[in-house]
């Protein structure tokens, strides 16, 4: 469990790749986004929600799924409200707000991964895969934002890593208080599903629609379906098997 969260935290260093592959970064991000959208949608509807319904009230499960969607809608809008749209505004202000928002997001990711492992090892693995699939393109983008905001490469990596470490804090929080929240695992899993559904439908899939070339759109669709298939395969082999 902790190892998975640490791996997710270490993904903050993939920002270095943004410098090495600067010319092809947009192409690579589009490929990763297609796979991430499919894996998050698959994890939500094929693994997390069915598992949550097995162990909890269906009404409560769908309520917490909705709360997960609303929570990340509010979080994302909070960041947008402070986004710099004018040339004379303070870019640094948004840079640090982005770190705070990303830290909160990572904290919740850590809680979700920990809660998933406490339900079962296979559920934890599926959740970790979905989080990693989303985090790689996100961390590449976050690193770019920090550099644009005026931070040096070293500071951008350092602050991004500190923000990512909140995932470990979130996981430890769930682990320490696991006996007090045993009855709420299904609700945490449902909340995670809501989180994944929001990210996939509000952030990732709209990015796929921006592609106008048929060939690239087909490639994105294939990667999206591969993401769904991979989660289905893992869920079928390990969760049901």
pLDDT for position 15: 64
218 assigned to some structural domain: yes
19 assigned to some structural domain: no
Q: What does the pLDDT profile of the chain (241 residues) look like in tens digits?
A: 667 888 777 776 666 666 556 666 666 667 778 888 898 899 899 988 998 898 778 899 999 999 999 988 887 777 665 544 444 444 455 566 667 767 877 888 898 899 888 888 888 888 888 888 877 776 766 676 677 667 777 888 888 888 889 999 999 988 888 767 767 888 888 988 898 899 889 888 988 888 888 988 899 899 999 989 988 888 777 655 5
Structure letter (DSSP) for residue 187: H
Residue 211 CB-density burial (10 A; 0-12 exposed, 13-18 middle, 19+ buried)? middle
pLDDT for position 79: 61
123 assigned to some structural domain: yes
Give Cα separations from 167 to 20, 71, 131, 132, 145 (angstroms). 26, 17, 11, 12, 20
22 assigned to some structural domain: no
89 assigned to some structural domain: yes
Residue with tokens 């690193």: 143
For residues 46 and 178, give the distance between their C-alpha atoms in angstroms, rounded to a whole number: 25
pLDDT for position 224: 93
29 alpha-carbon distance from chain centroid? 15
Number of domains in the chain: 1
Residue with tokens 């970064």: 25
24 assigned to some structural domain: no
Structure letter (DSSP) for residue 46: I
Give Cα separations from 210 to 7, 30, 33, 207, 224 (angstroms). 31, 10, 12, 5, 15
Range of the domain at 156: 2-14+29-240
6 assigned to some structural domain: yes
For residues 26 and 31, give the distance between their C-alpha atoms in angstroms, rounded to a whole number: 9
For residues 201 and 207, give the distance between their C-alpha atoms in angstroms, rounded to a whole number: 10
21 assigned to some structural domain: no
């Amino acid at each position: 469990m902790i190892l998975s969260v640490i791996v997710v935290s270490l993904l903050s260093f993939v920002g270095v790749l943004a410098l090495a592959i600067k010319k092809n970064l947009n192409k690579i991000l589009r490929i990763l986004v297609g796979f991430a959208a499919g894996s998050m949608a698959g994890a939500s509807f094929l693994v997390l929600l069915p598992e949550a319904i097995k162990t909890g009230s269906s009404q409560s499960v769908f309520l917490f799924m909705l709360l997960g969607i609303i929570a990340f809608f509010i979080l994302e809008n909070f960041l947008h409200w402070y986004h710099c749209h004018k040339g004379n505004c303070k870019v640094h202000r948004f840079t640090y707000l982005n770190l705070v928002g990303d830290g909160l997001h990572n904290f919740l990711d850590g809680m979700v991964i920990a809660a998933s492992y406490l339900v079962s090892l296979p559920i934890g693995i599926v959740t970790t895969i979905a989080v990693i699939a989303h985090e790689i393109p996100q961390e590449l983008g976050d690193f770019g934002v920090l550099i644009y905001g005026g931070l040096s490469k070293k500071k951008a990596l350092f602050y991004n890593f500190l923000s990512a470490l909140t995932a470990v804090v979130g996981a430890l929080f769930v682990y320490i208080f696991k006996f007090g929240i045993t009855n709420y695992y299904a609700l945490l899993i449902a909340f995670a599903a809501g989180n994944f559904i929001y990210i996939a439908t509000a952030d990732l899939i709209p990015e796929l629609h921006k592609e106008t070339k048929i060939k690239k759109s087909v490639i994105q669709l294939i990667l999206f379906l591969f993401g769904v298939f991979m989660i289905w395969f893992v869920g079928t082999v390990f969760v049901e098997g």
